[in-house]
Structure 1
Amino acid sequence: MDGETRKTEFTSVSGEKLAAALELPRGRPRAYALFAHCFTCSKDIKAAREIARTLCASGIAVLRFDFTGLGGSEGDFANTNFSSNVDDLVSAADFLRDEFDAPALLIGHSLGGAAAIVAAAQMPEIKGVVVIGAPAQADHVVMQISERHEEIKRQGFAHVSLAGRPFTIKSQFLEDLSGQNVLNAVAALKKPLLVMHAPHDQTVGIDNATKIFAAAKHPKSFISLDTADHLLSKAGDARYAASVLAAWAERYLDEVPAVVRAPDFKGGAAAQSIDGEPLAVALSIDGYAMVSDGGPEDGGNGLGPNPTRIAEAALAACAAITVRMYARRKKWDLASVDVRIKRGGSADAHRPRLLEKELRVSGDLDAAQRARLLEIADKCPVHRMLTEGVEVQSRLA
């Protein structure tokens, strides 16, 4: 995959830490998408991974996460319900909006699809909703525990086995389901909808897709997933769904200018102007591509960090790498390094006279070791280049 999987977490409305994975393409993402997994599944189910990574390869960043009480997330599953799943989705969208960019696509699998339909009303930036194998009503999931229904109603809970794993289902879960109306939410969606369903789905029948599609207003689309099963357990089926999804989304996502890739330049850096862009340049740093641009205040479009920010990032990265190399050589217990660079006051925003470097280290380190690591951070090559000065010789090619 041409990108990275970044582990992260965010806080739910009830205070639990929810585990997440953000699939990021190289360069500026085309858009951000949010993925809701199926009932009692996790963000790491094959369908979630394959769909997220296929979309990432097409330039769309995808956040997949574990609902409260599942996977790596905190909380007790027994205290969750359909409404809390909707709340978790809204919290995930808030996290993306605050830390990166608001999600433009909302994707839900199975019961996660029903939750996505309901949650979309609370995400104004969403440009398209996609549901895969979704039930037309939230209480469809009760079919999986129908033999324990009376027990739950009688004693308030029951221990059930779902996909071979034990779960506790409380009466509040059933009561919450009975108060949901997914089809009403579909009718009020007011966003483009893509319905994807396998005609031979043995868990959520194809009639559910028919009901959702009939209730939706245009623009709406339906894609048959042919021989796929409910969980899209074959990687090829998940990748097919993602590739069709990406093509469908193109119609609704904001246009972004095509980025010219600078020629690979080994042993240095190259910058090449981008046609149609007032300031942006395509960079090649030892063959690694990125974009640098000015912000709107300078007449650019903010397609990437400005050059001075890149210099600050180089200082932070160099300090972190140098510290880790030193600690490894000394066999010190350095668990992690976090370097923050901030500008001091300067009349010229593009020519700071003071950079403040903050080093945060964790691990079994004493005070003397921590102090030494701070000294080492100031000996990294970029720090020395900036503070000792470097001669630049320019010429026309």
Structure 2
Amino acid sequence: MRSEKVEFRGSQGAVLAARLELPEDEPRAYALFAHCFTCGKDQVAATRISRALTEFGIAVMRFDFTGLGGSGGDFGNTHFSSNVDDLVFADEYLRTHFEAPTLLIGHSLGGAAVLAARHRIPRIRAVATIAAPFSPDHVLHLLGSDRAEIERQGQAEVSLAGRMFRIRRQFLDDIGAQPQAERIAHLDAALLVFHSPSDELVGVDNARRIFDTARHPKSFVALDGANHLLTNPADTRYVATVLAAWAGRYVLSPTPLGDRPYRD
């Protein structure tokens, strides 16, 4: 496996930090990975799954959305639509400097983002979601009582996963206006839904709604016993192995996957 640091301009003009994981041989496909809400490209699930997929010949670029991790910009000025726009700019970077991605992978709210971005990234043949909400407005419950202050004052400092973030009313307005059901129903790509029946943050009913709304080809894989962030290496190994086998039908070259060992 080879790993390269890369940078590209995001939707709001800031430089976004990214990492491109490359297989030892010529990649058989390129993928984009979208991380979870307020997380980053170096979150454990994003890192392990991306690196594991290189063992199956899939190159994966993961990046920090505007205002998060190593990326520039102000998180307070972002919203769900800007995340989708960042994915489109990431696609443009890969198409220009390497090869157009054919696979989108998203974790949690990143899963909702890749479902929304599919229609703007023309060469995508397959989409995989991991612990994704059916609608992006699912994250609003994380704001708790701060939501009322945001609506009243126009913004508020909100504690999310132990860190403080400025959330503005535009975030609420944007996330409540997403036609996610229509996007899923007309995805025009193969869909693979991963979800844990015991997910403590995004209930498994979200996976059912995504699956029921989507058209074939579609598949569902239960991540029994996994937590929302997939902190157990065995869970990320399982996701990568199943995802690579599934991708072989839709995005990889005809060359068989073969027996490629997993390396964490």
TM-score range normalised by the length of the shorter chain:
over 0.9
Deviation (angstroms), 1:13: 2.6
Q: Which residue is 1:192 aligned to?
A: 190
Where does 1:95-134 land on structure 2 (aligned, <5 Å)?
Answer: 95-134=93-132
Q: Deviations over 1:260-315 (max 9, x none)?
A: xxxxxxxxxxxxxxxxxxxxxxxxxxxxxxxxxxxxxxxxxxxxxxxxxxxxxxxx
Q: Which residue is 2:262 aligned to?
A: none
Give me the TM-score of the superposition, normalised by structure 2. 0.95
Identity %: 56
Deviation (angstroms), 1:146: 2.2
Report the 3-state secondary structure (helix = DSSP H, G, I; strand = E; otherwise coil) of the residue aligned with 2:182. helix
Within the candidate set 234, 238, 259, 1:236 is matched to 234
Q: Deviations over 1:170-224 (max 9, x none)?
A: 1110000110121211001011000000000010000000000000000000000
Where does 1:133-172 land on structure 2 (aligned, <5 Å)?
Answer: 133-172=131-170
Q: Which residue is 2:24 aligned to?
A: 26
Structure with higher Rg: it is: 1
Within the candidate set 25, 33, 36, 2:34 is matched to 36
2: distance between equivalents of 1:22 and 1:256? 23
Deviation (angstroms), 1:14: 2.2
Letter in 2 for 1:156: G
Where does 1:217-228 land on structure 2 (aligned, <5 Å)?
Answer: 217-228=215-226
Report the 3-state secondary structure (helix = DSSP H, G, I; strand = E; otherwise coil) of the residue aligned with 2:250. coil
2: distance between equivalents of 1:134 and 1:53? 21
Give me the TM-score of the superposition, normalised by structure 1. 0.64
Deviation (angstroms), 1:20: 0.1
Letter in 1 for 2:94: L
2: distance between equivalents of 1:124 and 1:85? 17
Structure 2 residue ranges without an equivalent (≥5): 257-264
The answer to whether the Cα contact below 8 Å between 2:6 and 2:19 also exists between their aligned partners in 1 is: yes
The one of the two structures with greater contact order (alpha-carbon pairs below 8 A, sep at least 6) is 2
Letter in 1 for 2:144: S
Letter in 2 for 1:221: S
Q: Which residue is 2:52 aligned to?
A: 54
Deviation (angstroms), 1:254: 4.2
Letter in 2 for 1:80: T
Give the aligned length. Answer: 257
Q: CA RMSD in A?
A: 1.2
Tell me which stretches of 4 or more aligned residues in structure 1 moved more than 3 Å: none
